[in-house]
Amino acid sequence: MKKLVFFGMLLFFSFINSQESRCIKSENEVKERILGYWKEKNVETNIFYRFVLKEEEVKIEIIENIDFIEKAENHLPFTSEEIVEINEFDNCFQVGILIKRKYGSVYNSFKFIHENEFKYFEKTFIRINI
């Protein structure tokens, strides 16, 4: 019985991990994935995020309704001041945000579900056409 429970848990965690990002083999491919317009999935909002390439760096532009942004300012997952970085780990490229703190930095990567959807922390974002 213990083996059956263990095997079931192993299958469950394999399924969960299989829905996370696959290996992206080039920096150009990861740029193609992230560039464009995104919004938080299943959230009614007037805030959209545009990831653009400026001076060889990926930048975040926040496109919003000004009245709405003043109320939501402290709850935004991204700001235009954050540093978007593309890094290579184990021959796979990732995109994420480097968060600088007083005593060090933390790199939080985006987990692509597929080319039109990614997760960042507990939030899911979908690509939109504007």
The string of pLDDT tens digits covering residues 26-79 is: 999 999 999 999 999 998 878 889 999 988 889 998 887 655 445 445 556 777
State residue 52's pLDDT score: 92
Give the C-alpha separation, 66 to 19, whole Å: 35
Q: For the residues of 44-94, what is the DSSP string, one character each?
A: --S-EEEEEEETTEEEEEEE--HHHHHHHGGG-S--TTSEEEEEEETTEEE
Q: Report whether pLDDT(97) > 50.
A: yes
* pLDDT winner (highest mean) among 8-17, 57-66, 72-81, 83-92: 83-92
The pLDDT-based confidence of 14 (bands split at 50, 70, 90) is very low
Average pLDDT of the chain is 78
- Which of 68, 69, 49, 72 lies closest to 60, judged by CA? 49
- Which of 75, 76, 79 lies closest to 100, judged by CA? 79
Q: For the residues of 19-30, what is the DSSP string, one character each?
A: TSPPPB--HHHH
- Which of 45, 77, 76, 50 lies closest to 62, judged by CA? 50
